Chains A and B, each alone.
Chain A
Amino acid sequence: EVQVVESGGGLVQPGGSLRLSCAASGFTFSTYAMSWIRQAPGKGLEWVSGISGSGGRTYYADSVKGRFTISRDNSRNTLYLQMNSLRVEDTAVYYCAKAGSGSYYGDYWGQGTLVTVSS
């Protein structure tokens, strides 16, 4: 059974940093791209970042480019999102998703981890 489980969310002050993790199981992790998607409270979905199976290619939404870094450790079946220079508007539930074959859309999503940026 495919599972992805996020962790690392919490309360952080504006300008601060946080690293999210996503532990994957039930599939050959290195074979699939992965994505992070977020959802601000009461709002819709926003794709944040994606990374290829090898980790060699990374992509970002303009809203986080230069502040967030996606990475993966295929030996640990784990995806990461390093978030720096956090802003109030980054407050959201962050979802990790396994991508469909040959693409970056999410076919299996985790339950999400809440990031709150507030002073």
Chain B
Amino acid sequence: EIVLTQSPDFQSVTPKEKVTITCRASQSIGSSLHWYQQKPDQSPKLLIKYASQSISGVPSRFSGSGSGTDFTLTINSLEAEDAAAYYCHQSSSLPLTFGGGTKVEIK
């Protein structure tokens, strides 16, 4: 099973600041890495697919990069509505696995 390690676990950020979340895979997964946002009491929402592909309707301040084992989700100019948990997820091999999550709090 592929293990995804996210960091940090928690981040407290002021509005307009840039946020960077990393996800490291225990073995190479190519670009089969996806990012989700989950707000309190809501289901997860797909933000980025295949490491860097944007999703229709997702604000352009969200971007992804990386390949192989190291990936990054970047939120440029954080807004109050971005307070949420963020998860990485690999679909390279079964069983699919998720990272442990990063909670982003707005100061």
Contacts and interface: CB of A to CB of B under 8 A. Distances in A.
Given A44-B98, A59-B94, A103 B32 contact: yes
A105 B91 contact: yes
Interface string A85-119: 00000000001000010011111111110000000
Most-contacted residue by chain B among A44, A45, A61, A100 (CB, 10 A): A45
A43 B2 CA distance: 19
A61 B100 contact: no
Given A44-B100, A45-B98, A47-B97, A104 B46 contact: no
Contact of B44 (A45, A61, A103): A45
B43 A95 contact: yes
B43 A47 contact: no
Contacts of A111: 42-43
B96 A109 contact: no
A104 B45 contact: no
A46 B98 contact: yes
Interface string A29-60: 00000010000000011110010000000011
Nearest to B45: A109
Interface of B: 1, 32, 34, 36, 38, 42-46, 49, 55, 87, 89, 91, 94-101
13 contacts: A44-B98, A44-B100, A45-B87, A45-B101, A47-B95, A47-B98, A50-B94, A60-B95, A100-B49, A104-B94, A105-B34, A107-B55, A109-B43
